[in-house]
Chain A
Amino acid sequence: MSTEERAQEWAVVVNDEEQYSVWPADRPAPAGWHETGRHGTREECLEHIAQVWTDMRPLSLRKRLEAQK
Chain B
Amino acid sequence: MTPSPTAPLSFSQERIWFLEQLTPGTALQNIPLAVRLTGDLDVAALTGALRGILRRHDALRTAVTVVDGHPVQQVSDAVDLSVPLTDLSGPDATLAEASAQDWLREQARTPLHLDRAPLMRAALARLGERHHILAVTVHHIAFDGWSVGVLMRELGERYTAALEGRAVTLSELPLQYADFAARQRAAFASGDMADDLAHWRGALAGDLPVLELPTDRTRPETATYRGATVSRVLPDDCADAVAALARAGGVTPYMVLLGGYAALLGRWGGQRSVVVGSPIAGRTSEDLEKLIGFFVNSVALHIDLSGDPGFGELLRRVRKKALGAYAHQSVPFEKVVEELSPGRESNRAPLFQTMFVLQNAPADGLRLPGLEVQPLHVHNGTAKFDLLMSVSKLPEGLTVTLEYDTALFEEGTAARLLEQYETLLRGAAAAPDTPLSRLPLIDATETARLLALGQSGACFPVQGTLHGTFEEQARRRPDATALTFEGHHLSYAELDSRANALAARLRDLGIDTESLVGLYLNRSPDTVVSILAVLKAGAAYVPMDAAYPGPRVARILSDARPSVLVVHDALRDRLPEYDGHLLVVDGQDVPAQSPAAPQAAAPLGPDNAAYVIYTSGSTGTPKGVQITHANVLRLFAATREQYRFDHHDVWPLFHSYAFDVSVWELWGALLHGGRLVVVPDATARDAEAYRELVRAEGVTVLNQTPSAFVHFSAADARCAPDELALRWIIFAGEALEPGSLKGWFARHGDRTPRLVNMYGITETTVHVTVREMTRDDLTPARRSPIGRPMPDLALYVLDGHLQPVPVGTTGELHVGGPGLARCYFGAPALTADRFVPDPFGATPGGRLYRSGDLARITPEGEIEYLGRADHQIKVRGYRIEAGEIESQLLDHPAVDSAVVMPQRDPGGDLRLIAYVTYHGQQVSGEALRGLLAERLPGYMLPWRIVVLDTLPLTVNGKVDRAALPEPGSERPFATTAYAEPRDATERAVADAFAAVLGLDRVGVQDNFFDLGGHSLLATRLVFRLREDLSTELPLRTLFEIPTVEGIAAAVRRSGGSGVLPHDLARVLAAEAQPPGGLTGFRTPDPQVLTKPADVLLTGATGFLGAFLLRELIRTTDADVHCLVRAEDGYRARQRIEATARRYGVWDEETARRIRPVVGDLSAPGLGLAAPEADRLAHTVDAIYHCGASVNLVYPYEQLRAANVDGTKELVRLADRSGRAPLHYISTVGVFAAPPAHGGAARETDVTGPAGQLRQGYTQSKWVGEQVVLKAAAAGLPVTVHRPSRIAGDSRSGACQTDDYLWRVIKGCVQAGAYPADARVLTDLVPVDHVSAAVVALSHDPRAIGRVHHLVNPHPVPLSEVLGHVRAFGYELTGLTFAEWARAIAADTDNAAYPLLGVLEAGSGSDGGLRFDQGDTAALLDATPLRCPVLDADLMHRYLTHFVRTGFLPATA
Contact = CB atoms under 8 A, between A and B. Distances in A.
A37 interface: no
Interface in B610-641: 626
Interface in B593-612: 602-603, 605, 607-608
Interface in A11-69: 13, 15-17, 19-24, 29-33, 42, 45-47, 49-50, 52-54, 56-58, 60-61, 64-65, 68-69
A13 B607 contact: no
| Closest A-B pairs by Cβ, 10 of them | A32-B844, A32-B845, A15-B845, A53-B828, A50-B829, A46-B829, A30-B839, A31-B844, A68-B602, A56-B823
20 contacts: A4-B437, A4-B800, A5-B800, A13-B837, A15-B847, A19-B835, A21-B833, A22-B833, A22-B836, A29-B837, A32-B843, A32-B845, A33-B837, A45-B832, A46-B829, A49-B828, A50-B828, A57-B822, A61-B608, A64-B602
Given A33-B845, A50-B828, A56-B822, A65 B837 contact: no
Interface residues of B, number: 33
B816 to A, nearest CB: 11
B879 to A, nearest CB: 16
Given A4-B435, A32-B846, A61 B828 contact: no
A47 B916 CA distance: 45
Nearest to B836: A21
Nearest to B835: A21
Contacts of B843: 32
Interface residues of A, number: 38
Interface in B819-859: 822-823, 825-826, 828-829, 831-833, 835-839, 843-847
Contacts of B801: 4, 24
A59 to B, nearest CB: 10
A65 B514 contact: yes
A51 B1034 CA distance: 75
B231 to A, nearest CB: 33
Contacts of B1416: none
B1128 interface: no
Contacts of B513: 65
Contact of B308 (A7, A30, A60): A7
Contact of B828 (A20, A64, A68): A20
B607 A58 contact: yes
Contacts of A54: 828
Nearest to B846: A32
Contacts of A19: 823, 831, 835, 845, 847
Contacts of A53: 828, 831-832
Contacts of A57: 514, 822
B836 A23 contact: yes
B308 to A, nearest CB: 5
Contacts of A46: 829, 832-833
Interface string B487-513: 000000000000000000000000001
Interface in B419-435: 435
A50 B836 CA distance: 15
Contacts of B825: 56
A32 B839 CA distance: 10
B832 A22 contact: yes
A56 B843 CA distance: 20
A65 to B, nearest CB: 5
A30 B838 CA distance: 7
B847 A21 contact: yes
A18 B846 CA distance: 12
Interface string B525-569: 000000000000000000000000000000000000000000000
Nearest to A24: B801
Interface of A: 2-5, 7, 13, 15-17, 19-24, 29-33, 42, 45-47, 49-50, 52-54, 56-58, 60-61, 64-65, 68-69
B844 A56 contact: no
Contact of A60 (B435, B602, B607, B831): B607
B827 to A, nearest CB: 8
Nearest to A68: B602
Contacts of B831: 19-20, 53, 56
A69 to B, nearest CB: 7
Contact of B837 (A15, A47, A49, A61): A15
Contacts of B838: 30
B653 to A, nearest CB: 30
B623 to A, nearest CB: 13
Nearest to A28: B839
Given A31-B844, A31-B845, A61-B607, A69 B602 contact: yes
B1297 to A, nearest CB: 40
Contacts of A69: 602
A3 to B, nearest CB: 7
B273 to A, nearest CB: 13
Given A16-B845, A30-B837, A56-B828, A4 B308 contact: yes
A2 B835 CA distance: 17
A68 B843 CA distance: 27
A22 B826 CA distance: 18
A31 B846 CA distance: 8
A16 B846 CA distance: 10
Contact of A16 (B605, B823, B844): B844
The listed residue with most A CB atoms (<10 A of its CB), out of B605, B828, B833, is: B828
A31 B308 CA distance: 28
A29 B836 CA distance: 11
Nearest to A15: B845
A32 B816 CA distance: 15
A65 B602 contact: yes
B625 to A, nearest CB: 12
B839 A56 contact: no
Contacts of B822: 56-58
A19 B823 CA distance: 9
A53 B827 CA distance: 9
A5 B836 CA distance: 13
A52 to B, nearest CB: 8
A49 B835 CA distance: 13
Contacts of A3: 307-308
Contact of A64 (B605, B826, B832): B605
Contact of A21 (B514, B602, B837): B837
Nearest to B800: A2
Nearest to A13: B837
Contacts of B437: 4
Contacts of A4: 308, 435, 437, 800-801
Interface in B787-806: 800-801
Contacts of A22: 832-833, 836
A49 B173 CA distance: 78
Contacts of B514: 57, 65
A7 to B, nearest CB: 7
B603 A68 contact: yes
Contacts of B308: 3-4, 7
A64 B602 CA distance: 9
A45 to B, nearest CB: 8
A68 B514 CA distance: 14
Nearest to B841: A30
Contacts of B800: 2, 4-5
B1370 to A, nearest CB: 30
Contacts of B307: 3
Nearest to A54: B828
Contacts of A23: 836-837
Interface string B1062-1103: 000000000000000000000000000000000000000000
A61 B846 CA distance: 16
Given A32-B845, A47-B829, A65-B514, 12 more contacts: A21-B833, A22-B836, A30-B844, A31-B844, A33-B845, A50-B829, A53-B828, A54-B828, A61-B607, A64-B602, A65-B602, A68-B602
Contacts of A15: 837, 844-847
Interface string B1379-1414: 000000000000000000000000000000000000
A56 B826 contact: yes
